[in-house]
Amino acid sequence: MKIIMLGAPGAGKGTQAKKIAAKYDIPHISTGDIFRANIKSGTDLGKKAKTFMDQGLLVPDELVVDLVVDRVGQDDCSKGYVLDGFPRTIPQAEALDAALAKVDQKMDYAINVEVPDENIIQRMSGRRACVDCGATYHIVYAPTKKEGICDNCGGSLILRDDDKPETVQKRLGVYHEQTQPLIEYYTDKNILVEVDGTIDINDVFTEIVKVLGE
């Protein structure tokens, strides 16, 4: 089962992607996580990506397409995978489709987690990330047991630069302009699934499972 998660930044697509990956035992591939890992370890890719990410801009297509095409070709992806944060532009979607077509494959579902902008801004300002392991929390919706301390590894929590209100506004603008057209793209391919992302996290997942099957 090959799945794409669509939705604005902060819509909760990462949370749902992780739940899907666990239930169906397929890899969760987050391009945002891949870039953050590269930034942390100081690679060239990380250095290049950071300049765009910190401004709320998309990393150029050429830095992300090969990385994903290569990743989905690895052995652990043979049963499928869930892509979180990719594609984010029409050229990325076309490049993915072209790469899959070469091996006689295509995506099965594009799940759009729909949340209005007002809710997104409120959600993202409460988001906190661990400086050490990258785990994410929310001060209201997913708090840590001890304030400011990661449940996972004991690291300190911060508001990521790309979650700051001015950057969130910018990211939403970029989303509407560059990523939202993918909804029509996948509607035309008959694989779009719309879910309401404003309801409880577990209820969103129940809706997704209804479509993907038990």
Q: Is 171 one of the catalytic residues?
A: yes
Nearer to ligand AMP, 26 or 59 (CB): 59
> Is 44 or 104 the residue whose CB approaches ligand AMP more closely?
44
CA separation for the pair 175, 170 (Å, rounded)? 9
The one catalytic residue among 2, 50, 123, 127: 127
Examine the residue annotation and report whether 128 is marked as an active-site residue of this protein: no
Output the smallest distance, CB 88 to ligand AMP, in A. 4
Q: Which residues bind ligand AMP (CB under 6 A)?
A: 9, 31-32, 35, 52-53, 57-59, 64, 85-88, 92, 162, 171
Stretch (H or E) spanning 186: helix 181-188
Nearer to ligand AMP, 116 or 210 (CB): 116
**129 and 136 Cβ atoms separated by less than 8 Å:** yes
2, 19, 88, 123: the active-site residue: 88
Q: How far is the CB of 92 from ligand AMP (least distance, A)?
A: 6
Single out the catalytic residue among 2, 13, 50, 123. Answer: 13
CB of 30 to ligand AMP, least distance (A): 6
Q: Which residues are catalytic?
A: 13, 88, 127, 160, 171
